[in-house]
Structure 1
């Protein structure tokens, strides 16, 4: 019986760890993003749709919707830090993984996306 509880505990811990930090993708919160933007230390990629971007966006962000990112990836500089944002953090996570596959040096997903931007 204790072996069942131990296995259950391990499974639950793995689940929570996976939720906190997606494997292979660094995270940043919106406060860190704001500081880096003020200091011009990061390029910001917004992967939301053009309509979402037009309704509310962060000054200086480059809008490349996720579905067009593969075709437009050359519009970004792979050698500088890239923060990736969407509405909630899911599309930006996919985009972050794609950028990493294309040898972008320092990619960070903005945790919570525009939902957390104030």
Structure 2
């Protein structure tokens, strides 16, 4: 095989891996949670546990009003912070961390989990930023 054919083969395998990874996350997202648009998220969030799974510095720079910050990196140690009798509304910058968080929650027996479709980047509702000194 020529070097160009090897490069093409490697590039093809990389593209295939990216597509398969994206597909896996889409399937896991639908299996572990219901992905909802912003209007449904706003309508239900008053009766739900709204959780921002981004890291604290991202949360402090701006988050959905009323959300609690439980970063994905500490989620496994925080299952006791969730109530099983209330829906859990998750969001992050887009939704990739939320899908992973929903999968962990599903494995712990949580079934009423929702993910903000466009994530924080697509949010047009009320937000809050931590004041800097």
Task: Provide the C-alpha distance between the structure 1 equivalents of 2:66 and 2:113, rounded to a whole number of angstroms.
Answer: 17
Q: Distance in 2 between matches of 1:22 and 1:64?
A: 19
**Aligned alpha-carbon RMSD (Å):** 2.1
Point out where structure 2 has 5 or more consecutive residues left out of the alignment: 1-21, 125-133
> Does the 8 Å CA contact 1:80/1:105 hold for their aligned counterparts?
no
Cα distance change on mapping 1:99 and 1:47 into 2, 3 Å: same
Which structure has the bigger radius of gyration?
Answer: 2
Structure 1: gaps spanning 5 or more residues: 1-14
* Kept in 1: contact 2:29–2:102 (CA 8 A): no
Once the two structures are TM-superposed, the CA of residue 49 in structure 1 deviates from its matched residue by: 0.6
Match of 1:34 in 2: 42
Q: How many residues align?
A: 101
Q: TM-score, normalised by structure 1?
A: 0.77
Displacement of 1:20 in angstroms is 8.5
TM-score by length of 2: 0.69
